[in-house]
Structure 1
Amino acid sequence: MVTEQTINVEVAYARERAQALIPVTGQAGMTLADAIERSGILSRFPEIDLDVNKVGVFGKLAKLDQALASGDRVEIYPPLIADPKQARKQRATGAKANAA
């Protein structure tokens, strides 16, 4: 009798005042989208929009149709509030003004 391999992953999401790390079990070949759906995180955090929020595995951006391996951590990233390059430029300009 042949059985499909079961894998265990985690789905993670964090915002300023709330975090979630949800274990998910599924069959080999489970995708990021499958894991996110199984986790129930979309109903817990209704602000998550997978058309807007980027996703990844262990800090590396990934597509929703990417297959997962056992032990992977699926991460849902909140949208950026400010452009990091622009914020760095503004801090540098402020530092120069304060030094003068």
Structure 2
Amino acid sequence: MLSASVQSRYTVSASNTINVEVAYALPEKQVIIPVNVYAGTTIGGAIVQSGIMLEFPELDVEHSTVGIFGKAAPMTKVLADGDRVEIYRPLKADPKEVRRKRAAEGKVTRKGGSTDKG
């Protein structure tokens, strides 16, 4: 039998854990996985513990941009209770380039960008 001091090193109490969510979305499918992790867990650790790569095997987490509640963050960022880790898909097109191309073609943007009164 382990002594009380040794047992306490290997026992996790509720006060040593936090609740976070790991989110990933495709146009046709969105998943938010609740995960209970140790306090001090990083974004990368929570992603691994969530098992999200089992649901999305094509997901290349190492080369993905990640964040917390819409704000980009490094994989090494330590999470706080209630955080939602988001895994972002790469953009299909650079928004600045799309706007430049529209302007060069004389197309009106959503905000009106054309000076024609026509």
Which interval holds the TM-score relative to the shorter structure? 0.7 to 0.9
CA distance in 2, matches of 1:86, 1:8: 39
The whole-number CA distance in structure 1 between the counterparts of 2:48 and 2:23 is: 12
1:9-66 CA distance string (max 9 Å, x none):
0000011101100000011001101110111101111221123210001111111111
1:33 matched to 2:44? The reply is yes
Q: Give me the whole-angstrom Cα distance separating, in 2, the residues matched to 1:38 and 1:77.
A: 18
1:86 maps to 2:97: yes
Structure 2: tracts of 5 or more residues without a match? 109-115
Q: Which runs of 4+ in 1 moved over 4 A?
A: 1-4
Query: What is the TM-score normalised by the length of structure 2?
Result: 0.75
One-letter amino acid of the counterpart of residue 22, structure 1: I
| RMSD, matched Cα | 2.1
Q: 2:35 aligns with which of 18, 24, 27?
A: 24
| CA distance in 2: counterparts of 1:18 and 1:92, whole angstroms | 33
TM-score (norm 1): 0.87
Q: Which residue number corresponds to residue 13 of structure 1? A: 24
- The aligned residue for residue 57 of structure 2 is 46
SS of 1:87 mapped into structure 2: helix
Shift of 1:91: 2.2
Tell me, in whole angstroms, the C-alpha distance in 1 between the residues paired with 2:18 and 2:55.
23
- Once the two structures are superposed, the pairs formed by residues 51-70 of structure 1 within 5 Å of their partners are 51-70=62-81
Matched to 2:22, the amino acid is V
